[in-house]
């Protein structure tokens, strides 16, 4: 996703129309389909995998909205748009040559509820940190499993001794663990780079609202601290408060 030339509009929304539609946000951001991956799978004899990859549906349901704000027509995609006619909103939007503004983020002034374009809820620093935590957890679990299996196999040997096996564990912690940490960082970087466009887009929206430290902002984490009674299950996942 390219950087946006955004502006913040304010006013009362009128003529709101909202519909739930399916759209592929992830693949449209990554740029390209799954064709090459499916071809690669078929070339190595993985026919079943090729069929699964080629038919993978990553489309998801989101709110498509159209409304006017301060006399300006706007439309856009939102994970959830929990607002109604008459609400006073701040909307980060981008002008188009057609005269219809593209709404990218919206915030209700009365209670701080925020709606954003799908998957655009965190800045780049937060995005990469979240991705690293996932890979670090996977590698950490794998490391623990390796230690447990090694210990089980070692204790079955007649000449097993804790003092002798301590050197083996020293090697695990001295070489294997740092190596797995490096692998975690590498794979987190690869995975994060694929969807970094969402994070860059998020930062443009956050700056449009005038929020501090857009790169470190994570709306999901911030919203969990601001949850109120009556917030539905989509709160904190598809719409937020900030």
- Give 10-residue mean pLDDT values along the chain (242 residues): 77 95 75 40 42 57 94 94 95 90 94 94 90 85 88 81 79 85 82 83 94 94 89 90 95
DSSP state of 2: P
Task: Return the pLDDT at 98.
Answer: 85
Segments of the chain assigned to CATH 2.40.50:
6-24+59-121+218-241
**Which residue, among 112, 60, 138, has the nearest Cα to 226 in the 3D structure?**
112
Task: Return the pLDDT at 118.
Answer: 92
Task: Return the pLDDT at 153.
Answer: 84
Task: Return the pLDDT at 34.
Answer: 38
Task: Return the pLDDT at 45.
Answer: 44
Can you tell me the distance from the alpha carbon of 146 to that of 37, in angstroms, rounded to the nearest whole number?
31
Task: Return the pLDDT at 164.
Answer: 74
Cα→Cα distances 106→13, 44, 70, 81, 116, Å: 11, 47, 14, 8, 6
Task: Return the pLDDT at 3.
Answer: 54
Cα→Cα distances 178→41, 129, 141, 183, Å: 32, 18, 14, 9
Class of 6-24+59-121+218-241 per CATH?
mainly beta
Task: Return the pLDDT at 2.
Answer: 52
Task: Return the pLDDT at 167.
Answer: 79
Cβ atoms < 10 Å from Cβ of 185: 16
Sign of CA dihedral 183, 187, 190, 196: negative
Task: Return the pLDDT at 29.
Answer: 61
Alpha helices in the chain (DSSP H): 25-30, 35-43, 47-54, 124-155, 162-171, 177-194, 196-209, 219-224
């Amino acid at each position: 996703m390219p950087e946006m030339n955004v502006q913040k509009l304010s006013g009362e929304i009128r003529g709101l129309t909202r519909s739930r539609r399916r759209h592929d946000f992830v693949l449209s951001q990554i740029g390209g389909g799954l064709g090459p991956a499916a071809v690669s799978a078929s070339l190595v004899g993985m026919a079943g995998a090729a069929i699964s990859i080629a038919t993978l549906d990553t489309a998801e349901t989101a709110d498509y909205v159209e409304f006017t704000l301060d006399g300006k027509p706007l439309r856009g995609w939102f994970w959830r748009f929990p607002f109604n006619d008459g609400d006073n909103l701040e909307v980060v939007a981008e002008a188009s040559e057609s005269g219809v503004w593209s709404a990218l983020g919206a915030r209700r002034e009365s209670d701080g509820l925020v709606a954003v374009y799908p998957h655009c809820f965190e800045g780049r620093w937060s995005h990469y940190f979240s991705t690293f935590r996932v890979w670090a957890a996977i590698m950490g679990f794998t490391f623990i499993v390796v230690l447990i299996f090694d210990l089980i196999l070692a204790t079955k040997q007649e000449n097993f001794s804790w003092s002798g096996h301590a050197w083996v564990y020293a090697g695990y912690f001295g070489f294997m663990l740092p190596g797995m940490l490096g692998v975690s960082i590498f794979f987190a970087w690869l995975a994060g780079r694929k969807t970094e466009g969402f994070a860059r887009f998020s930062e443009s929206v956050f700056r449009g609202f005038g929020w501090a430290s857009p790169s470190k902002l994570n709306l999901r984490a911030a919203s969990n601290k601001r949850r109120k009674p009556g917030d539905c299950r989509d709160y904190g996942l598809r719409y937020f408060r900030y």
